[in-house]
């Protein structure tokens, strides 16, 4: 980098050679003062560069915030314990963070069951995770098998704006804690598939299960992609293996226009939580070209290991997704995903090896299994 034929360099070097004959004490003293001068000047130089382009430095210095802490909300209005929640008005339902009347009346049988167990409310939302179907067409045509680096499950498919609501229910599985950074997410969502539409926007809610210090942790979440990173939607009580969990999301639906609505309920503990994201004038409404119930590998082909999951009572390394439904604009509530044009995704790793498979749709179009095959 230094041009030794440069006159300035030779001048500087000759000065250094002449001074070599000085006594050691003087030389050391001068050297120390020069080093000090250089350090000070370097500091100001680097400070100047930072001032000229602070973003370049800030981008490298700012980590992704992943807050897994549960925030207490003292203004969280709890639902009355001795009242049939099915009879509440829209205003009352809204004050308790429950779905509005239009949503409930869209499927009164389901909501009667869910609301009977909606006793303990949480209001936090904190930024913070084989038996194959037989494809009959080429991906992503309906009934086809597609392959994904991060999703396993079924997707109802249509044109943009079709699917405005999605739901799923499952029993919280256990995961193997032998891999320290393994994670898996199980969720319901609408939108987010670039195979089906350009500029996809995914609106989702579900359960993230991850390993930390050789223990498994459960975290309910909502997320809008792109736009909002995974955000904790905590329940009043912690989740345990075998808990019965239900998730429902709506995006710019008739009942929640210009809003994304997220609802999670732990049926086993009578806990629930909800969150509304106002989307008026933003790009955070789903593309709504798909509605899906998915098991996801965090980070895709170069991401985290897929946690080895096991639902009690199911086949080895298998979880059963039940009540997987999607709702289309103009219809109240959700219908079984199997009743809509749909395809399914098999999850593979970067080398093309299968990581998770998808079982056939059963129970009138509502249920199917996902089976873990490998973690990396």
Residues that bind another protein (CB under 8 A): 1-2, 8-9, 12, 15, 34, 37-38, 41-42, 45-46, 49, 53, 55-56, 59-60, 62-64, 66, 129, 138-141, 145-151, 155, 185, 187, 192-195, 198-200, 202, 204, 223, 225-226, 229-230, 283, 296, 298-304, 345, 348, 352
From the CB of residue 144, how many other CB atoms can be counted at a distance below 10 Å? Answer: 16
Q: What's the half-sphere exposure (Cβ side, CA atoms, 13 Å) at 62?
A: 7
Minimum CB distance to another protein smaller for 88 or for 207: 207
**Which residues have CB under 8 Å from 266's CB, separation 6+?**
235, 237, 239, 243, 244, 245, 272
Task: Report the nearest approach of another protein to the CB of residue 52 (Å).
Answer: 10
Using CA atoms, how far residue 184 sits from 33, 85, 256, in Å, is 58, 34, 29
Q: What angle do CA 166, 168, 171 make, to 5 degrees?
A: 165
Minimum CB distance to another protein smaller for 328 or for 348: 348
Structure tokens at 72: 């207490």
Task: Report the nearest approach of another protein to the CB of residue 81 (Å).
Answer: 35
C-alpha 148/C-alpha 178 separation (Å) is: 25
C-alpha 243/C-alpha 325 separation (Å) is: 20
Q: What's the half-sphere exposure (Cβ side, CA atoms, 13 Å) at 330?
A: 2
Task: Report the nearest approach of another protein to the CB of residue 317 (Å).
Answer: 21
| Three-state secondary structure call for residue 265 | strand
Task: Report the nearest approach of another protein to the CB of residue 220 (Å).
Answer: 13
Task: Report the nearest approach of another protein to the CB of residue 96 (Å).
Answer: 28
Minimum CB distance to another protein smaller for 40 or for 77: 40
Omega before residue 307 within 30° of 0, cis: no
Task: Report the nearest approach of another protein to the CB of residue 323 (Å).
Answer: 21
């Amino acid at each position: 980098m230094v041009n030794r034929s440069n006159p300035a360099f030779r001048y500087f070097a000759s000065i250094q050679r002449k001074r070599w004959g000085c006594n050691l004490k003087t030389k050391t003293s001068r050297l120390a003062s020069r080093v000090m001068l250089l350090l000070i000047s370097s500091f100001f130089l680097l400070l100047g560069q930072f001032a000229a382009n602070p973003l370049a430095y800030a981008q490298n210095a700012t980590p992704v915030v992943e807050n897994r802490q549960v925030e207490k909300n003292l203004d969280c209005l709890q639902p009355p314990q001795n009242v049939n929640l099915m009879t509440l008005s829209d205003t009352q339902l809204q004050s308790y963070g429950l779905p509005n009347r239009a949503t409930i009346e869209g499927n009164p049988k389901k909501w009667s069951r869910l609301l009977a167990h909606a006793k303990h409310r949480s209001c936090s939302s904190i930024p913070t995770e084989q038996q194959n179907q037989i494809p009959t067409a080429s991906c992503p045509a309906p009934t086809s098998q597609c392959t994904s680096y991060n999703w396993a499950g079924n997707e109802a498919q249509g044109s943009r704006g079709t699917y405005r609501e999605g739901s799923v229910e499952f029993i919280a599985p256990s995961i193997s804690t032998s891999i320290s950074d393994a994670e898996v997410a199980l969720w319901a969502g609408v939108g987010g598939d670039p195979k089906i539409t350009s500029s996809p926007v995914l609106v989702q809610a579900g359960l993230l299960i991850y390993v930390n210090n050789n223990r498994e942790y459960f975290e309910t979440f909502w997320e809008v992609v792109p736009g909002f990173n995974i955000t904790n939607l905590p329940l009043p009580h912690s989740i345990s293996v075998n808990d019965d969990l239900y998730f429902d999301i709506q995006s710019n639906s008739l009942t929640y226009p210009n809003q994304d609505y997220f609802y999670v309920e732990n049926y086993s503990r009578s806990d629930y939580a909800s969150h509304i994201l106002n989307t008026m004038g933003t790009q955070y409404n789903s593309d709504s070209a798909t509605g899906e119930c998915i098991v996801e590998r965090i980070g895709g082909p170069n991401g985290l290991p897929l946690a080895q999951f096991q639902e009690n009572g199911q086949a080895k390394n298998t979880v059963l997704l039940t009540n997987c439904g999607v709702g289309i604009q103009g219809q109240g509530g959700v219908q079984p995903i199997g009743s809509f044009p749909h395809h399914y995704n098999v999850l593979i790793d970067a080398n093309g090896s299968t990581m998770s498979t998808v079982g056939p749709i059963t129970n009138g179009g509502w249920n199917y299994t996902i089976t873990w095959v490998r973690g990396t």
